[in-house]
Structure 1
Amino acid sequence: MAIHKLVFDDDFDEVCNTLIAIHCTLEDYRLAYLLNKHLGITLKRKPVDLDYSKKDASYAIYEWVDHKQLLTWNLVSNICKKQALQETDYRSLFNTEQTTTTFYLLPEHKTVNYFLKIDSEFSFSKEKYILDSILKIPQIATAYSINYSELQSKENLIFS
């Protein structure tokens, strides 16, 4: 009896994503508006934020599905700030003080404010055009591509 052996290539492990880091001080809704205007897309806020119960953090997320080119665009905040009241040990007029804890979606990129992730079923060749269009927005300090395969916490970028 013959033995048939199937060998799969490593193509299944590769994910075709474009990840763009955006540095700016804008609110998430304002950045989504400017990206929609300059890139000709229609990002809309998802009804539920990206929530990580382990960290007690949630991140604003916007999405647009381009059915023509089979692309999914996601704009997600990298920073989540939580405020909590903490009781103080020393005697004062007030027994509590407010502390702020900062969480990051991708801790290895703490200086990045937002990420624009583009999922596709084929390699995306318009990355340079998108970056140039983003850099033309005056409110954005800088934007650059990040190699998706070199990320340590890429599981945080799985949104579905």
Structure 2
Amino acid sequence: MAVHRVNIEEFEEDDYHIIAIHTSLEDYRLAYFLNRDLNICLGKSKHDISSEVKEGETSFIRFTYEDQEKIIKWDLIQNKNVVIGSVNIKSQDLFSDSKNSFSSLAYLLPEFKKVDYFLKIGNAEKEINTLEIVSKINTIDGINMVYSIAIDKIKSKNNLIF
């Protein structure tokens, strides 16, 4: 009997593109402009991306669109979100048993802290021209900077599995 061995590397294909977007636009406005200029139909997802950080738990807002004709999945994902936590302080003074709350920022991809949103385009190996998409996004008012990110530059790829 012949033995056929399969390496895990054969299944690890990065078949998506990541575009970083720096903007001060609200998420719903950005989704609207992307829909208009890229001729897609992003809609707010019922399933946000949950993440645990040392300060607490947070979730990142996500807009999705699945192109049934070309079998391409589009995801607009928030990169920054505020984590609000509280600490109980017990002491024998005027402020005994008080709760102090704090907030800190959490990132979906911590190595890109200045990026506001990511546009993940999945299952689009040959059908998508990322340079054309980047140039179309760059024409939107309120967009400060747009660029494509090489997949091998992303250290926290596991955060993009959803």
Normalising by structure 1, we get a TM-score of: 0.85
The offset of 1:125, in angstroms, is 3.9
Q: Could you tell me which residue of structure 1 aligns to residue 79 of structure 2?
A: 78
Q: Could you tell me which residue of structure 1 aligns to residue 133 of structure 2?
A: 130
Output the amino acid matched with 1:122.
Answer: E
**Change in 2 beyond 3 A, CA 1:98/1:126:** same
Could you say what secondary structure the match of 1:64 adopts?
Answer: strand
Structure 2 residue 113 is matched with structure 1 residue 110 = yes
Q: Could you tell me which residue of structure 2 aligns to residue 42 of structure 1?
A: 41
Structure 2: gaps of 5 or more residues: none
Identity of aligned residues (%): 33
Spell out the pairing of 1:10-159 with structure 2 (5 A cutoff).
10-53=9-52, 55-86=56-87, 97-120=100-123, 122-159=125-162
Normalising by structure 2, we get a TM-score of: 0.84
* Contact preservation (8 Å) 1:18, 1:124: no
* Contact preservation (8 Å) 1:84, 1:100: yes
Could you say what secondary structure the match of 1:20 adopts?
Answer: strand
Over aligned residues, Cα RMSD in angstroms?
2.5
Output the amino acid matched with 1:109.
Answer: F
Could you say what secondary structure the match of 2:135 adopts?
Answer: helix
